[in-house]
Amino acid sequence: MAQVLPAERDLRRVIGDDETPDRELDGVDARFLLDLYRSLILLRTYDERSVVYHRQGRIGTYAIFWNHEAMQAGSVHALADDDWIFPSYRESAIGLLRGMPAATVLSWWRGHPAGWWNPADYNVASICVPIATHVPHAAGLAWGKKLRGESTTAIVYFGDGATSEGAFHEGANFAAVTQAPLVLLCNNNQWAISTPLSAQTHAETLADKAAGYGMPGVRVDGGDVLAVYEATCEAVERARSGGGPTFIEAVTYRAAPHATADDPKAYIDVERVEEEKQNECVGRFERYLQRLGILDDATAAEIKAWATELMREGIAAAEAEPPADPALLFEHAFVDPPASFGSDLAELRRILG
Ligand SMILES: Cc1ncc(C[n+]2csc(CCOP(=O)(O)OP(=O)(O)O)c2C)c(N)n1
Ligand SMILES: [Mg+2]
Protein backbone atom coordinates (compact mmCIF):
# COMPACT_ATOMS: atom_id res chain seq x y z
CA MET A 1 0.00 0.00 0.00
CA ALA A 2 1.42 3.41 -0.96
CA GLN A 3 2.27 5.67 1.91
CA VAL A 4 0.52 9.03 1.90
CA LEU A 5 2.10 11.86 3.79
CA PRO A 6 -0.07 14.33 5.69
CA ALA A 7 -1.23 17.26 3.59
CA GLU A 8 0.96 20.33 3.31
CA ARG A 9 -0.55 22.76 5.78
CA ASP A 10 1.49 25.87 5.01
CA LEU A 11 0.01 28.13 2.39
CA ARG A 12 2.27 28.09 -0.63
CA ARG A 13 3.08 31.51 -2.04
CA VAL A 14 5.25 32.83 -4.85
CA ILE A 15 4.23 36.50 -4.95
CA GLY A 16 5.64 38.40 -1.99
CA ASP A 17 4.28 41.28 0.07
CA ASP A 18 5.68 44.04 2.30
CA GLU A 19 7.38 41.47 4.57
CA THR A 20 8.23 38.57 2.22
CA PRO A 21 10.18 38.84 -1.03
CA ASP A 22 8.88 37.29 -4.26
CA ARG A 23 10.00 33.69 -4.69
CA GLU A 24 11.70 32.74 -7.96
CA LEU A 25 9.82 30.33 -10.18
CA ASP A 26 11.77 28.21 -12.65
CA GLY A 27 10.77 27.98 -16.28
CA VAL A 28 8.56 31.05 -16.57
CA ASP A 29 9.49 33.91 -18.89
CA ALA A 30 8.09 37.38 -19.59
CA ARG A 31 5.88 36.14 -22.44
CA PHE A 32 4.29 33.48 -20.20
CA LEU A 33 3.73 36.01 -17.41
CA LEU A 34 2.03 38.44 -19.80
CA ASP A 35 -0.18 35.65 -21.19
CA LEU A 36 -1.22 34.86 -17.65
CA TYR A 37 -1.96 38.54 -17.05
CA ARG A 38 -4.08 38.63 -20.22
CA SER A 39 -6.14 35.70 -18.89
CA LEU A 40 -6.61 37.41 -15.53
CA ILE A 41 -7.81 40.60 -17.18
CA LEU A 42 -10.13 38.68 -19.48
CA LEU A 43 -11.77 36.95 -16.50
CA ARG A 44 -11.90 40.14 -14.41
CA THR A 45 -13.46 42.10 -17.26
CA TYR A 46 -15.94 39.32 -17.98
CA ASP A 47 -16.97 39.25 -14.33
CA GLU A 48 -17.30 43.01 -13.83
CA ARG A 49 -19.20 43.50 -17.09
CA SER A 50 -21.51 40.61 -16.23
CA VAL A 51 -22.58 42.30 -12.99
CA VAL A 52 -23.38 45.43 -15.03
CA TYR A 53 -25.29 43.39 -17.65
CA HIS A 54 -27.27 41.76 -14.84
CA ARG A 55 -28.21 45.19 -13.43
CA GLN A 56 -29.26 46.27 -16.90
CA GLY A 57 -31.52 43.21 -17.16
CA ARG A 58 -29.49 41.72 -20.00
CA ILE A 59 -28.46 38.47 -18.21
CA GLY A 60 -30.15 36.56 -15.38
CA THR A 61 -28.87 35.86 -11.86
CA TYR A 62 -25.09 35.71 -12.02
CA ALA A 63 -22.50 34.02 -9.73
CA ILE A 64 -19.73 36.57 -9.24
CA PHE A 65 -16.12 35.33 -9.17
CA TRP A 66 -14.32 38.59 -8.42
CA ASN A 67 -11.02 37.80 -6.58
CA HIS A 68 -11.14 34.14 -7.73
CA GLU A 69 -9.58 34.87 -11.14
CA ALA A 70 -6.09 33.84 -9.96
CA MET A 71 -7.08 30.33 -8.94
CA GLN A 72 -8.84 29.88 -12.26
CA ALA A 73 -6.19 31.32 -14.59
CA GLY A 74 -3.22 29.94 -12.64
CA SER A 75 -4.57 26.40 -12.84
CA VAL A 76 -5.70 26.54 -16.50
CA HIS A 77 -2.26 27.75 -17.59
CA ALA A 78 -0.79 24.60 -16.00
CA LEU A 79 -2.87 22.37 -18.32
CA ALA A 80 -2.24 21.15 -21.85
CA ASP A 81 -4.87 22.18 -24.40
CA ASP A 82 -6.42 18.70 -24.51
CA ASP A 83 -6.72 18.30 -20.73
CA TRP A 84 -10.33 18.40 -19.59
CA ILE A 85 -11.89 21.11 -17.41
CA PHE A 86 -15.00 20.51 -15.26
CA PRO A 87 -16.25 23.91 -14.01
CA SER A 88 -18.82 24.73 -11.37
CA TYR A 89 -21.04 27.83 -11.78
CA ARG A 90 -18.25 29.82 -10.06
CA GLU A 91 -15.93 29.10 -13.01
CA SER A 92 -18.63 29.78 -15.62
CA ALA A 93 -16.31 31.79 -17.90
CA ILE A 94 -13.29 29.49 -17.71
CA GLY A 95 -13.98 28.36 -21.30
CA LEU A 96 -12.90 31.85 -22.44
CA LEU A 97 -9.36 30.76 -21.60
CA ARG A 98 -9.82 27.98 -24.18
CA GLY A 99 -11.12 30.32 -26.89
CA MET A 100 -14.85 30.00 -26.19
CA PRO A 101 -16.69 33.16 -27.32
CA ALA A 102 -17.97 35.43 -24.54
CA ALA A 103 -21.37 35.30 -26.30
CA THR A 104 -21.66 31.59 -25.48
CA VAL A 105 -21.18 32.05 -21.74
CA LEU A 106 -23.35 35.18 -21.67
CA SER A 107 -26.07 33.20 -23.49
CA TRP A 108 -25.84 30.58 -20.72
CA TRP A 109 -26.55 33.26 -18.15
CA ARG A 110 -29.41 34.45 -20.35
CA GLY A 111 -30.86 30.91 -20.18
CA HIS A 112 -30.60 30.65 -23.96
CA PRO A 113 -29.80 27.32 -25.68
CA ALA A 114 -26.88 29.03 -27.48
CA GLY A 115 -25.15 28.95 -24.07
CA TRP A 116 -24.69 25.18 -24.24
CA TRP A 117 -21.69 23.95 -26.19
CA ASN A 118 -20.36 20.56 -27.22
CA PRO A 119 -17.85 19.80 -24.42
CA ALA A 120 -15.55 18.02 -26.89
CA ASP A 121 -15.08 21.29 -28.85
CA TYR A 122 -13.08 22.85 -26.00
CA ASN A 123 -12.53 19.94 -23.61
CA VAL A 124 -14.62 21.98 -21.18
CA ALA A 125 -17.60 20.21 -19.60
CA SER A 126 -20.94 21.97 -19.07
CA ILE A 127 -21.17 24.43 -16.20
CA CYS A 128 -22.28 22.40 -13.17
CA VAL A 129 -24.84 24.01 -10.86
CA PRO A 130 -25.71 21.08 -8.56
CA ILE A 131 -22.98 21.11 -5.92
CA ALA A 132 -20.23 18.48 -6.49
CA THR A 133 -22.15 16.27 -8.92
CA HIS A 134 -19.46 16.87 -11.54
CA VAL A 135 -16.70 15.42 -9.34
CA PRO A 136 -17.64 11.80 -10.22
CA HIS A 137 -18.04 12.84 -13.89
CA ALA A 138 -14.50 14.22 -13.90
CA ALA A 139 -13.14 11.15 -12.07
CA GLY A 140 -14.86 8.89 -14.62
CA LEU A 141 -13.49 10.81 -17.59
CA ALA A 142 -9.97 10.78 -16.14
CA TRP A 143 -10.18 7.05 -15.42
CA GLY A 144 -11.42 6.44 -18.97
CA LYS A 145 -8.44 8.34 -20.40
CA LYS A 146 -6.12 6.21 -18.28
CA LEU A 147 -7.79 2.97 -19.44
CA ARG A 148 -7.30 4.05 -23.05
CA GLY A 149 -3.62 4.72 -22.43
CA GLU A 150 -3.98 8.46 -23.21
CA SER A 151 -1.92 11.01 -21.30
CA THR A 152 -4.82 13.46 -20.91
CA THR A 153 -5.66 14.68 -17.41
CA ALA A 154 -8.74 16.38 -15.99
CA ILE A 155 -9.28 19.14 -13.46
CA VAL A 156 -12.48 19.66 -11.49
CA TYR A 157 -13.36 22.90 -9.66
CA PHE A 158 -15.64 23.00 -6.64
CA GLY A 159 -16.08 24.98 -3.44
CA ASP A 160 -15.53 24.43 0.28
CA GLY A 161 -19.22 23.63 0.68
CA ALA A 162 -18.93 20.90 -1.95
CA THR A 163 -16.59 18.92 0.29
CA SER A 164 -19.60 18.11 2.51
CA GLU A 165 -21.48 16.47 -0.36
CA GLY A 166 -21.64 12.74 -0.97
CA ALA A 167 -20.77 13.24 -4.63
CA PHE A 168 -17.45 14.85 -3.65
CA HIS A 169 -16.59 11.84 -1.52
CA GLU A 170 -17.63 9.38 -4.22
CA GLY A 171 -15.62 11.17 -6.91
CA ALA A 172 -12.50 11.69 -4.78
CA ASN A 173 -12.52 8.11 -3.52
CA PHE A 174 -13.12 6.69 -6.97
CA ALA A 175 -10.31 8.77 -8.48
CA ALA A 176 -7.90 7.62 -5.78
CA VAL A 177 -8.84 3.93 -5.99
CA THR A 178 -8.48 3.95 -9.79
CA GLN A 179 -5.44 6.27 -9.60
CA ALA A 180 -7.19 8.41 -12.18
CA PRO A 181 -5.24 11.40 -13.60
CA LEU A 182 -7.40 14.03 -11.88
CA VAL A 183 -6.73 17.33 -10.13
CA LEU A 184 -9.37 18.19 -7.54
CA LEU A 185 -9.21 21.96 -7.13
CA CYS A 186 -11.18 23.22 -4.16
CA ASN A 187 -11.83 26.96 -4.10
CA ASN A 188 -12.02 27.43 -0.34
CA ASN A 189 -13.59 30.89 -0.35
CA GLN A 190 -14.75 30.20 3.21
CA TRP A 191 -18.46 30.57 2.49
CA ALA A 192 -21.18 28.39 1.02
CA ILE A 193 -23.75 31.13 0.49
CA SER A 194 -24.26 32.09 4.20
CA THR A 195 -22.72 28.93 5.73
CA PRO A 196 -19.20 29.66 7.03
CA LEU A 197 -16.35 27.18 6.75
CA SER A 198 -16.53 26.55 10.52
CA ALA A 199 -20.00 25.04 10.03
CA GLN A 200 -18.80 22.99 7.08
CA THR A 201 -16.02 20.96 8.62
CA HIS A 202 -14.26 20.28 11.92
CA ALA A 203 -11.03 19.43 10.08
CA GLU A 204 -8.20 21.91 10.55
CA THR A 205 -7.75 22.26 6.80
CA LEU A 206 -9.69 20.97 3.80
CA ALA A 207 -6.41 19.65 2.36
CA ASP A 208 -6.30 17.23 5.33
CA LYS A 209 -9.19 15.36 3.74
CA ALA A 210 -6.84 14.17 0.99
CA ALA A 211 -5.00 11.78 3.33
CA GLY A 212 -8.24 9.91 3.97
CA TYR A 213 -8.47 9.14 0.26
CA GLY A 214 -4.80 8.24 -0.03
CA MET A 215 -3.89 11.19 -2.22
CA PRO A 216 -1.54 14.15 -1.72
CA GLY A 217 -3.12 17.33 -0.37
CA VAL A 218 -1.66 20.79 -0.98
CA ARG A 219 -2.68 24.22 0.33
CA VAL A 220 -1.99 27.30 -1.72
CA ASP A 221 -2.79 30.97 -1.47
CA GLY A 222 -5.57 31.07 -4.05
CA GLY A 223 -4.99 34.79 -4.61
CA ASP A 224 -1.44 34.10 -5.76
CA VAL A 225 -1.75 33.14 -9.42
CA LEU A 226 1.80 31.78 -9.57
CA ALA A 227 1.43 29.61 -6.45
CA VAL A 228 -1.72 28.08 -7.97
CA TYR A 229 0.13 27.61 -11.26
CA GLU A 230 3.05 25.86 -9.55
CA ALA A 231 0.86 23.55 -7.44
CA THR A 232 -1.30 22.62 -10.45
CA CYS A 233 1.78 21.93 -12.62
CA GLU A 234 3.02 19.48 -9.98
CA ALA A 235 -0.40 17.83 -9.70
CA VAL A 236 -0.74 17.52 -13.50
CA GLU A 237 2.76 16.08 -13.77
CA ARG A 238 1.92 13.52 -11.06
CA ALA A 239 -1.33 12.62 -12.81
CA ARG A 240 0.33 12.23 -16.22
CA SER A 241 3.10 10.04 -14.89
CA GLY A 242 0.69 7.58 -13.27
CA GLY A 243 0.79 9.03 -9.75
CA GLY A 244 -2.99 9.47 -9.49
CA PRO A 245 -5.08 12.38 -8.23
CA THR A 246 -4.12 15.38 -6.09
CA PHE A 247 -6.33 17.55 -3.92
CA ILE A 248 -5.44 21.25 -4.01
CA GLU A 249 -7.04 23.57 -1.50
CA ALA A 250 -6.83 27.10 -2.90
CA VAL A 251 -7.51 29.38 0.04
CA THR A 252 -9.35 32.52 -1.02
CA TYR A 253 -12.07 34.70 0.44
CA ARG A 254 -15.36 35.55 -1.19
CA ALA A 255 -15.08 39.30 -1.61
CA ALA A 256 -18.40 39.66 -3.48
CA PRO A 257 -21.95 38.44 -2.84
CA HIS A 258 -22.55 34.73 -3.50
CA ALA A 259 -24.48 35.81 -6.59
CA THR A 260 -26.40 38.84 -7.80
CA ALA A 261 -29.44 37.48 -5.91
CA ASP A 262 -27.64 37.61 -2.54
CA ASP A 263 -27.11 40.39 0.00
CA PRO A 264 -24.30 39.15 2.28
CA LYS A 265 -24.43 42.10 4.72
CA ALA A 266 -26.54 40.01 7.07
CA TYR A 267 -23.84 37.40 7.59
CA ILE A 268 -20.42 38.30 6.19
CA ASP A 269 -17.50 39.98 7.95
CA VAL A 270 -17.58 43.33 6.18
CA GLU A 271 -14.13 44.41 7.46
CA ARG A 272 -12.57 41.20 6.20
CA VAL A 273 -14.13 41.76 2.79
CA GLU A 274 -12.58 45.24 2.68
CA GLU A 275 -9.16 43.78 3.59
CA GLU A 276 -9.48 41.20 0.82
CA LYS A 277 -10.41 43.88 -1.69
CA GLN A 278 -7.21 45.77 -0.84
CA ASN A 279 -5.19 42.63 -1.55
CA GLU A 280 -7.21 41.30 -4.49
CA CYS A 281 -5.51 38.88 -6.84
CA VAL A 282 -5.29 40.85 -10.10
CA GLY A 283 -3.69 43.88 -8.41
CA ARG A 284 -1.21 41.60 -6.63
CA PHE A 285 -0.02 40.14 -9.92
CA GLU A 286 0.04 43.56 -11.56
CA ARG A 287 2.35 44.89 -8.84
CA TYR A 288 4.53 41.76 -9.16
CA LEU A 289 4.89 42.32 -12.93
CA GLN A 290 5.69 45.98 -12.35
CA ARG A 291 8.40 45.03 -9.83
CA LEU A 292 9.92 42.81 -12.53
CA GLY A 293 9.63 45.62 -15.10
CA ILE A 294 7.44 43.43 -17.36
CA LEU A 295 4.22 45.43 -17.40
CA ASP A 296 3.96 49.06 -18.46
CA ASP A 297 0.88 51.27 -18.50
CA ALA A 298 0.48 51.14 -22.30
CA THR A 299 0.46 47.30 -22.36
CA ALA A 300 -1.99 47.17 -19.44
CA ALA A 301 -4.31 49.64 -21.22
CA GLU A 302 -4.10 47.68 -24.49
CA ILE A 303 -5.03 44.39 -22.74
CA LYS A 304 -7.92 46.03 -20.88
CA ALA A 305 -9.27 47.56 -24.10
CA TRP A 306 -9.05 44.17 -25.86
CA ALA A 307 -11.01 42.43 -23.07
CA THR A 308 -13.62 45.20 -22.92
CA GLU A 309 -14.17 44.99 -26.67
CA LEU A 310 -14.58 41.19 -26.47
CA MET A 311 -17.32 41.71 -23.91
CA ARG A 312 -19.04 44.39 -25.99
CA GLU A 313 -19.06 42.06 -28.98
CA GLY A 314 -20.10 39.15 -26.77
CA ILE A 315 -23.21 40.75 -25.29
CA ALA A 316 -24.23 42.14 -28.70
CA ALA A 317 -23.95 38.65 -30.25
CA ALA A 318 -25.82 37.03 -27.33
CA GLU A 319 -28.63 39.57 -27.62
CA ALA A 320 -28.82 39.08 -31.40
CA GLU A 321 -29.75 35.39 -30.94
CA PRO A 322 -33.38 34.84 -31.94
CA PRO A 323 -35.57 33.94 -28.93
CA ALA A 324 -35.60 30.22 -28.19
CA ASP A 325 -38.72 28.15 -28.79
CA PRO A 326 -40.26 27.47 -25.32
CA ALA A 327 -41.15 23.95 -26.51
CA LEU A 328 -37.45 23.11 -26.04
CA LEU A 329 -38.03 23.18 -22.29
CA PHE A 330 -40.33 20.18 -22.55
CA GLU A 331 -38.72 18.28 -25.41
CA HIS A 332 -36.98 15.77 -23.18
CA ALA A 333 -39.57 15.75 -20.40
CA PHE A 334 -42.26 13.49 -21.86
CA VAL A 335 -42.37 10.33 -23.95
CA ASP A 336 -46.15 10.68 -24.14
CA PRO A 337 -47.19 14.27 -23.37
CA PRO A 338 -50.40 14.62 -21.32
CA ALA A 339 -53.56 15.44 -23.25
CA SER A 340 -53.47 19.10 -22.18
CA PHE A 341 -49.86 19.62 -23.29
CA GLY A 342 -50.64 21.08 -26.71
CA SER A 343 -53.06 23.70 -25.40
CA ASP A 344 -50.79 24.51 -22.41
CA LEU A 345 -47.87 25.14 -24.76
CA ALA A 346 -50.03 27.30 -27.01
CA GLU A 347 -51.03 29.32 -23.92
CA LEU A 348 -47.36 29.69 -22.88
CA ARG A 349 -46.42 30.88 -26.38
CA ARG A 350 -49.26 33.39 -26.27
CA ILE A 351 -48.10 34.77 -22.86
CA LEU A 352 -44.47 35.01 -23.99
CA GLY A 353 -45.67 36.90 -27.02
C1 LIG B 1 -26.88 19.62 -4.62
C2 LIG B 1 -27.12 21.07 -4.35
N3 LIG B 1 -27.56 21.45 -3.13
C4 LIG B 1 -27.77 22.77 -2.86
C5 LIG B 1 -27.56 23.72 -3.83
C6 LIG B 1 -27.79 25.20 -3.55
N7 LIG B 1 -26.50 25.91 -3.49
C8 LIG B 1 -26.12 26.68 -4.52
S9 LIG B 1 -24.62 27.37 -4.25
C10 LIG B 1 -24.48 26.63 -2.73
C11 LIG B 1 -23.25 26.86 -1.88
C12 LIG B 1 -22.03 26.15 -2.37
O13 LIG B 1 -20.90 26.59 -1.68
P14 LIG B 1 -19.45 26.19 -2.11
O15 LIG B 1 -19.38 24.74 -2.48
O16 LIG B 1 -18.53 26.67 -1.05
O17 LIG B 1 -19.21 27.01 -3.47
P18 LIG B 1 -19.16 28.61 -3.70
O19 LIG B 1 -20.57 29.04 -4.02
O20 LIG B 1 -18.64 29.25 -2.48
O21 LIG B 1 -18.27 28.78 -4.89
C22 LIG B 1 -25.61 25.88 -2.45
C23 LIG B 1 -25.81 25.11 -1.21
C24 LIG B 1 -27.13 23.26 -5.10
N25 LIG B 1 -26.87 24.12 -6.10
N26 LIG B 1 -26.90 21.95 -5.33
MG1 LIG C 1 -17.46 28.45 -0.95
pLDDT in tens, 289-299: 999 999 999 99
At 174-218, the pLDDT tens digits run 999 999 999 999 999 999 999 999 999 999 999 999 999 999 999
Closest listed residue to residue 224, CA positions, set 4, 6, 54, 25: 25
Q: Which ligand is nearest to the CA of 251?
A: 2
Comparing CA positions, the residue from 221, 230, 235, 191 lying closest to residue 281 is: 221
Cα separation, 145 vs 148, in Å, equals 5
Q: Is the pLDDT of residue 288 over 60?
A: yes
Q: Is the pLDDT of residue 1 over 70?
A: no
**pLDDT of amino acid 7:** 77
Q: Which ligand is nearest to the CA of 189?
A: 2
**Beta carbon of 159 within 6 Å of any ligand 1 atom:** yes
Residues having C-beta closer than 5 Å to ion ligand 2 = 159-160, 189, 192
Record the pTM. 0.96
pLDDT confidence of residue 332: 85
162 CA distance to ligand 2 centroid (A)?
8
Residue 232 contacts residue 74 (beta carbons within 8 Å): yes
**Catalytic residue status for 202:** no
Q: What is the mean pLDDT of residues 46-59?
A: 98
Q: Cα of 313 to ligand 1 centre, how many Å?
A: 31
- For the question of residue 254 being annotated catalytic, the response is yes
Catalytic hit among 54, 112, 258, 284: 258
18 falls in which pLDDT band (50, 70, 90)?
confident
| Closest atom, ligand 1, to C-alpha of 193 | 11
Least confidently predicted of 5-9, 222-226, 260-264, 344-348: 5-9
At position 353, the amino acid (one-letter code) is G
The residue contributing the CA closest to ligand 1 atom 23 is: 192
The catalytic position among 54, 68, 90, 254 is 254
Q: What pLDDT shows up at residue 5? A: 73
Cα–Cα dist 249/233, whole Å? 14
Ligand nearest to the CA of residue 258, numbered in listed order: 1
Query: What local confidence, expressed as pLDDT, does residue 2 receive?
Result: 61
pLDDT at 47 over 60: yes
CA distance 94 to 25: 24
- Assign 326 to helix, strand or coil: helix
- Whether 3 shows a pLDDT value over 90: the answer reads no
Pocket probe mutation, ligand 1, options 65, 92, 131, max atoms within 8 Å of Cβ: 131
Can you tell me the mean pLDDT for 104-109?
A: 98
The pLDDT value recorded for residue 211 is 96
Q: What b/e string do you get for 72-106 counting C-beta neighbours within 10 Å, with b at 16 or more?
A: bbbbbbbbeeebbbbbbbbbbbbbbbeebbbbbbb
Q: What is the mean pLDDT of residues 322-334?
A: 89
Q: Is the pLDDT of residue 287 over 60?
A: yes
Q: Quote the pLDDT of residue 269.
A: 92
Q: How far is the CA of 222 from the centre of ligand 1 (A)?
A: 19
Maximum CA extent, the chain:
72
Q: Is 258 annotated in the active site?
A: yes
130 lines ligand 1 (CB under 6 A): yes
Percent of the chain with pLDDT over 90: 92
**Cβ contacts of residue 221 below 8 Å, gap of 6+?**
11, 12, 13, 227, 228, 250, 251
Distance between Cα 108 and ligand 1 center (Å): 18
Distance in Å, CA 117 to ligand 1 centroid: 23
Whether 8 has a pLDDT exceeding 90, the answer reads: no
Indicate the residue type of 41.
Answer: I
What confidence tier does 71 reach under pLDDT thresholds 50, 70, 90? very high
